Chain A
Amino acid sequence: MTAQSAPAIELSGISKRFGPVQANRDVSLSVAAGSIHGIVGENGAGKSTLMSILYGFYEADSGEVAIGGRPRRIRSPADAIAAGIGMVHQHFMLVETLSVVENVVLGAEGGAWLSGGVSRARAELARLAQDYGLAIDPDAIVGELSVGFQQRVEILKALYRGAQILILDEPTAVLTPPEADQLFSLLRALRDQGKTVILITHKLREIMEVTDRVSVMRRGEMVAHLATSETSPPELAEAMVGRRVLLQVEKAPRPRGAKVLEAIGLDLVDARGVALLSGVNLTLHAGEIVGIAGVAGNGQSELIEVLAGLSHPSRGVVRLGGQILSSADRNPACLRKLGVMHIPEDRHRTGLVTAFPAAENSILGYQDDPALGPGPFLSPSTIAARARETFAAYDVRPPDPELKTAKFSGGNQQKIVLAREIERAPKVLLVGQPTRGVDIGAIEFIHRRLIALRDAGVAILLVSVELEEVMALSDRILAMCGGRITGERMAEAADERDLGLLMAGVTEEAA
């Protein structure tokens, strides 16, 4: 690295302990000014703690921080902002009912009257839009913007406060692939204008695509500093996990079995009369993974919800094992009894009650199972014993059923959901975003489980915004756009460009 100027950030010997957990151990990091620096690591590796120390949420137990070559003590986010550091959180800190410009000035109004700050911000937004191609309507209401634009508002907030260093925490977790690409070109523009960007992620593709250098964390320690151009995804994955990782899914061909589930002409209209699904036909066979490729928000989530009995189609029928499901059968409790299990796409909002101990989440949806206790009662010891068994089988860490679910990492939470649904011997498994917010080690594990289930004859419907994942796991791929199925490909014959066109709604007939 050329030493034309002092590094934008220099951390040396940072340690931080939370009770028995050593979250950061003697971490050193040097980030060159005007570069994009990636920090990768599995969930719980200490990336977020390190960035929280840098942004003043926590104070390090020991260690030094230097910004632009000068030693600094950062004890609060206000100190960090004064030092020229801006942070874009994974979960946005925006007031949805206010406009873009109002959100940007929030906390930096500069006086008792709003008008001065707002007009300054308006001028500044115009300048930023020109410099970085960050065009956005300053008067748009934030709640009405797409997620990608909301993220822009977060970036604008940081830049408006004079940030020279921008930290982004898992910025693409909520973005569609095209939105992620837009974000990356924005980050490159920021770098070219001399800003320093720190990108925290666990997606290796992003690291390879956009960063200049990358630092790898594992169990609270920095284990590698690498130039991106000189490394490769397998090398990074190995550094993150500490062992060799299989990035490709191994899958033997398997002849598909009998028809298990058939959906015919499903329509779904929401309360405002907007069509969410239109004439969806779908067949699942035993021993087959059918993947749905589509940009988020094109009806995939709604399709899974209809099949899982969480919402009722306005038209169409679902057949399970040849029998048409009556509307009385189409509720989650009945469908589970019929063998239709569901791994929901959002484990925090639907798949788990994070405030409960893990054992109680291992029975969610099966709380009426007579095996779990006498009559109207549940037996905590039975539930805990069963949970301990499945946690061991699914390598849930820590294997402690009494621990509050919120305290497990994303990957382990997902394994709790996976174990719960798979252990009940499904005939049909509906899977939404199985590896969202999950670390590499757990992704490998979850993929292998899904393949094993398919080999055992389960019919699996897979929805994922990761096109790579859909292509790697599926036997057959359906593309969705605007609530319709726009095409079907056998996995061997599918390629990314072709699917991309189908996902954009360019069908054979139209082309």
Chain B
Amino acid sequence: MSAAPIDLPRWADTALVPLVSVAAALVIAGLVVLGIGESPLEATALLLRGALGSAEGISFTLYYTTNFIFTGLAVAVAFHAGLFNIGGEGQATIAGIFAALACLWLAPLPGVLLVPLAVLAAAGGGALYGLIPGWLQATRGSHVVITTIMFNFLAATLTVYLLVEVIGKPGSMQPETAEFASHAILTPMHRLLAPLGVKLPATPLNSAFLLALAALVAVWALIFRSRLGYAIRTVGANPGAAAYAGISPARITMVAMAISGALAGGLAVNEVMGVQHRLLLDFTAGYGFVGIAVALMGRGHPVGVALAALLFGVLYQGGAELSFDKPAITRDMVVVIGGVIILFAGALDGLFRRVVASLLRIGRGD
């Protein structure tokens, strides 16, 4: 009764609060831009034009969006089971190793077999690497927040070892594998759409984007329409009720972490199979962590995750263009803007819920 929970109408909870958060973050970011003597309005215009003003810009934006959809969904699925999976980086890294091995070792297979198998290998690798912390949590009570972040380091170190000692390209000083065969990669979007008469400039955007859209639908069906999703949500919301309902919280913890890890593997599919066409160090580049902000902003719902992923896609691509046009606004500045949005959308969410709730009350004349 004391700190009455702030109950908002659904539309306000899912749309208004995140929008207010983003707006507040942009105001702060604008002040920072102002502080270094640049015009915030001009910077915003440049950012938006860079991200959405051309076919090339849009393609780059959607390429980044693809990564954020996968990592955002990964965090969201774990959230529904009451788990905070911050190991998306590590799970994607292991998925990358599995995908690369599949692409290299199964090269004799034709592309129609090889590519799906490599995608499955990536999902399986991510799932396995998510399953282990899930299993430790379920059977030993080791908290997934601790184990998943530790596992990120283990995965990074394992990649270094493998690339230097085991699967690195022979005779090369670079810690990376040989390039995959041309039939072992995902089709770039400009080639995919060319037969349809759509002309796109060559960009990293590839068919993994379609896979990400499919993953959005699949996660929605899983969480909100399937028996397993019901069990996942029950465990997340009330483990006591789950046990009463004959749902094993331990089993669901492992299953949800595996699904979460498999989704994080989508990041490896996009980067390793779609863009780099080889395994190299640090291809996850922090996308796994931004996925936490994407899931938070998206309220764990696939529609919200899609919108938040798009927002971060715009920021990444627009920010890159912005730092190119305005040398005073460095790439680091853009990172600051992204960080402010994460701070407002994730950590300071409650701040605006209170304000929005009282504004709504005034609006209704209560």
List chain A positions with a Cβ less than 8 A from chain B: 17-19, 48, 52, 57, 61, 77, 89, 93, 169, 308-310, 331-334, 336, 342, 344, 349-356, 360, 363-365, 367-368, 373, 376-378, 380
Q: Is the CB of B240 within 8 A of A350?
A: yes
- Of B112-120, B138-146, B229-237, which binds chain A? B229-237
User: How many angstroms from the CA of A93 to the CA of B230 in the assembled complex?
Assistant: 33
What residues on A are CB-neighbors of B228 within 8 Å? Answer: 376
CB proximity of B263 to chain A, nearest CB, Å: 18
Q: CB distance B244 to A332 under 8 Å?
A: yes
Is B241's CB within 8 Å of the partner chain A?
yes
State the Cβ distance, B29 to closest chain A Cβ, in Å: 34
Provide the bound-state CA to CA distance between A365 and B240, in Å: 12
Task: Return chain A residues, CB-CB under 8 Å to B237.
Answer: 353, 355-356
For the complex, give the distance between the alpha carbons of A378 and B240 in Å: 22
Residues from chain A with Cβ under 8 Å of B230 in the complex: 360, 363, 367, 378
Cα distance A19–B8 in the bound complex, in angstroms:
12
Q: Which residues of A contact B4 (CB under 8 A)?
A: 57
Neighbouring B residues of A18 by C-beta, 8 Å: 366
Q: Which residues of B contact A (CB under 8 A)?
A: 1-2, 4, 221, 225-228, 230-231, 233-234, 237-238, 240-241, 243-247, 364, 366
**What residue of chain B has the Cβ atom nearest to residue A361's Cβ?**
B241
Q: Which residues of A contact B2 (CB under 8 A)?
A: 57, 77, 89, 93
Q: Please tell me which one of the listed residues B225, B238, B246, B366 contacts residue A365 in the complex, with CB atoms under 8 A apart.
A: B246
- Report B297 CB to chain A, min CB distance, Å: 20
Given A19-B366, A48-B1, are A380 and B225 also a contact pair (CB < 8 Å)? Answer: yes
Chain B residues lying within 8 Å of A17, measured Cβ to Cβ, are 366
State how many angstroms separate the Cβ of B14 from the closest Cβ of chain A: 15
Count of chain A to chain B residue pairs whose CB atoms are closer than 8 Å in the complex: 82
A89 touching B1, Cβ below 8 Å: yes
Are B244 and A367 in touch, CB under 8 angstroms?
A: no
A367 near B225 with CB under 8 A, answer no
Q: Which residues of B contact A355 (CB under 8 A)?
A: 237-238
B366 to chain A, nearest CB (A): 6
Contacts of A309 in B (CB 8 A): 246
Known A57-B1, A364-B245, A365-B246; judge A356-B240 contact (CB<8 A).
no
Partner of B246, one of A89, A331, A360: A331
Please give, as numbers and ranges, the residues of chain B lying within 8 Å of A93 by CB-CB distance: 2
Nearest chain-B residue to A360 (Cβ)?
B230
Q: For the complex, give the distance between the alpha carbons of A216 and B49 in Å.
A: 66
In angstroms, Cα B1 to Cα A89, docked, is 8
CB distance from A353 to the nearest CB of B (A): 5
A378 and B1 in contact, given A332-B246, A344-B244, A365-B246 (Cβ under 8 angstroms): no
Per the bound structure, the CA–CA distance linking A502 and B283 in Å amounts to 71
Q: Contact check, A378 vs B366: say whether CB atoms are below 8 A apart.
A: no
Q: In whole angstroms, how far apart are the Cα atoms of A378 and B364 in the complex?
A: 37
- Which residues on A sit within 8 Å (CB–CB) of B234? 353, 356, 364, 367
A413 to chain B, nearest CB (A): 12
The dominant DSSP class at the A interface is loop
Asked if A377 and B244 sit within 8 Å, CB to CB, the answer is no
* Interchain nearest-CB distance for A74 vs B (Å): 15
Please give me the residue from chain B that is nearest to A373 by CB atom.
Answer: B227
CB neighbours (8 Å) of A57 from chain B are 1-2, 4
Separation in Å of the A425 CB from the closest CB of chain B? 18
Q: Report the bound CA distance from A18 to B234 in whole Å.
A: 30
Q: How far is the CA of A363 from the CA of B243 in the complex (A)?
A: 14
Name 22 A/B residue pairs within 8 A (Cβ), A-sorted.
Answer: A19-B364, A57-B1, A61-B366, A89-B2, A310-B243, A332-B244, A332-B246, A334-B246, A349-B238, A350-B241, A353-B233, A355-B238, A356-B233, A356-B237, A363-B230, A364-B244, A367-B230, A367-B245, A377-B221, A377-B227, A378-B227, A378-B230
Question: Is the Cβ of B226 less than 8 Å from the Cβ of A377?
Answer: yes
What is the minimal beta-carbon distance from A434 to any residue of chain B, in angstroms? 16
| CB nearest neighbor in A for B366 | A17
Shortest C-beta distance, B243 to chain A (Å), equals 6
A414 CA to B184 CA, complexed, in Å: 58
Cα A334 to Cα B246 with chains together (Å): 8
Q: Enumerate chain B residues within 8 angstroms of A360, measured Cβ to Cβ.
A: 230
Across the interface, B241 reaches (CB within 8 A) one of A89, A349, A376, A378, namely A349
Which are the 10 A-B pairs with shortest beta-carbon distances?
A333-B246, A332-B246, A365-B245, A350-B244, A353-B238, A350-B240, A355-B237, A353-B237, A349-B240, A364-B245
**Residue of chain B at shortest CB distance from A372:** B227
How far is B241's CA from A332's CA once the two chains are assembled, in angstroms?
Answer: 11
Which of these, B225, B241, B364, B366, contacts A364 with CB under 8 Å?
B241
Shortest beta-carbon distance, A332 to chain B, in Å?
4
B364: which A residues are within 8 A, CB to CB? 19
Complex Cα distance, B226 from A210, in Å, reads 53
Contact of A377 among B225, B246, B247 (CB under 8 A): B225
Q: For B1, B228, B238, B364, which residue has the most chain A Cβ atoms within 10 angstroms?
A: B1
Indicate if the CB atoms of B240 and A332 lie closer than 8 Å: no
Which residues of the other chain, A, contact B225 by a CB distance below 8 angstroms? 377-378, 380
A349, B226: Cα distance in complex, Å: 24
The residue on B at minimum CB distance from A311 is B243
A52, B1: Cβ atoms closer than 8 Å: yes
Residues in chain B near residue A364, CB distance under 8 A? 234, 241, 244-245
CA distance A166 to B364 in the complex (A): 34
Centre residue among A61, A77, A373 by max chain B CB count within 10 A:
A373
Contacts of B243 in A (CB 8 A): 310, 332, 350
Bound together, the chains give a CA A308 to CA B240 distance in angstroms of 14
Closest to A346 in B: B240
Decide: A310 and B245 in contact? CB cutoff 8 A: no
> What CA separation (Å) do A231 and B191 show in the bound complex?
87
The reply to whether B244 and A376 form a contact with Cβ atoms under 8 Å apart is no
Q: How far is the CB of B239 from chain A (nearest CB, A)?
A: 10
Question: CB-nearest residue of chain B relative to A335?
Answer: B246
Which residue in chain B gives the minimum CB-CB distance to A383?
B230
CB-CB < 8 A to A344: which residues of B? 244
Of chain B, the residue at the smallest CB distance from A342 is B244
Given known contacts A368-B227, A378-B225, A336 and B246 CB-to-CB distance under 8 angstroms: yes
Distance, CA A331 to CA B243, complexed state (A): 9
Return the contact of B244 from the options A310, A356, A378, A380 (Cβ within 8 A). Answer: A310
Q: A365-B244, A380-B225 are in contact. List 15 more A-B contacts (CB 8 A).
A: A19-B364, A48-B1, A57-B4, A89-B2, A169-B1, A310-B244, A332-B245, A344-B244, A354-B238, A356-B234, A360-B230, A364-B234, A367-B227, A367-B234, A376-B227
A356 to B233, CA, bound (A): 9
Q: Which of B225, B227, B241 has the most CB of A within 10 A?
A: B241
Question: Which chain B residue lies CB-closest to A90?
Answer: B1
A89 CB contacts on chain B under 8 angstroms: 1-2
Q: Which residue of A lies closest to B222 (CB)?
A: A376
How far apart sit A18 and B364, CA to CA, in the bound complex (Å)? Answer: 10
The CA-CA distance from A318 to B207 in the complex, in Å, is: 58
Question: Residues of A contacting B238 with CB < 8 Å?
Answer: 349-350, 352-355
